[in-house]
Amino acid sequence: MTAQLIDGNALAKTIRADVAHRTDALKARGVLPSLAIVLVGDDPASQVYVKHKVNDSSETGLKATLERYPASMQEAQLLSRIAALNADPSVHGILVQLPLPRHMDASKVIEAIAPAKDVDGFHVASAGALMVGRPGFWPCTPYGCLKMLDSIGYDLRGKHAVVIGRSNIVGKPMAMMLLARNATVTICHSATADLKALTLQADVVVAAVGKRNVLTADMVKPGAVVLDVGMNRNDEGKLCGDVDFEGVREVAGWITPVPGGVGPMTRAMLLVNTLEAAERAAG
């Protein structure tokens, strides 16, 4: 068996086209969907990420403004700037690129963003809305993963999903969203005792640890769906995920590549969230 690829690039292109169509409809009503991206410091990966986000926004007709600040910026200054963006009716979405400099409290900064503009889906209010099924913003990476499952017509009802990665950014929100689709979910991490025994039971495995080869072929049930959220570099310096792709693709039924899988979908769902924020504000 050779797994079928879930092409994140192709699916993201379709989603961006839909966002562009809906953006045009809002513009016809005099509303320009606007995203404010705040970058503090000079983290190389973050600079690449925000460049892609700005480009994606421009392609779909959304207005994206990138604000760059030095790593020496004080937390109080950042909180003041977020307050100003919260109060600006022309700004519909706010994204503070993580990680922040060590002297800043990321949780405090995220909680300062107005829930109505929390298009990254990290605010506690967004998490609470997700828990009880009320309108909010879903975190972009788990949201993108679910869209990928939808794209292959995969019904999660009654399935067992294993999420390797317990972070508040991906792991826990991913688990909640899978539960909302009536899956049975196990959350673990790379040091979980007998991880292989758990993953071999899984119909769906989500690898989101940030560690190369955390999931190998002998850990995957034949025909399972494998979603690789990891972003790493191999020995040659090329981008790779958390999954031993070449090995696992010979066992799994479906698999996402890195690059070209979850990454483009994460960015696409940011556009969707920003557009929905603008639509809600417009009424």
Q: Which residues have a catalytic role annotated? A: 53, 97, 120
Long-range contacts of 20-23 (CB under 8 A, 24+ apart): 20/59, 20/60, 20/61, 22/275, 22/279, 23/60, 23/61, 23/62, 23/275
Among residues 143, 182, 180, 188, the alpha carbon closest in space to that of 162 is found at 188
User: Where is 4: in which H helix or E strand?
Assistant: strand 4-5
CB 128, CB 136: distance < 8 Å: yes
**CB within 8 Å of 211: residues ≥ 6 apart:** 190, 230, 232, 242
Backbone phi, psi, residue 188, to 5°: -145, -170
CB 34, CB 62: distance < 8 Å: yes
Question: Following DSSP, what letter does each residue of 74-117 receive, concatenated?
Answer: -HHHHHHHHHHHHH-TT--EEEEPSPPPTTS-HHHHHHHS-GGG
Q: What is the DSSP letter of 3?
A: P
Beta bridge partners of 162: 186, 205
Residue 169 tokens read as: 């950014």
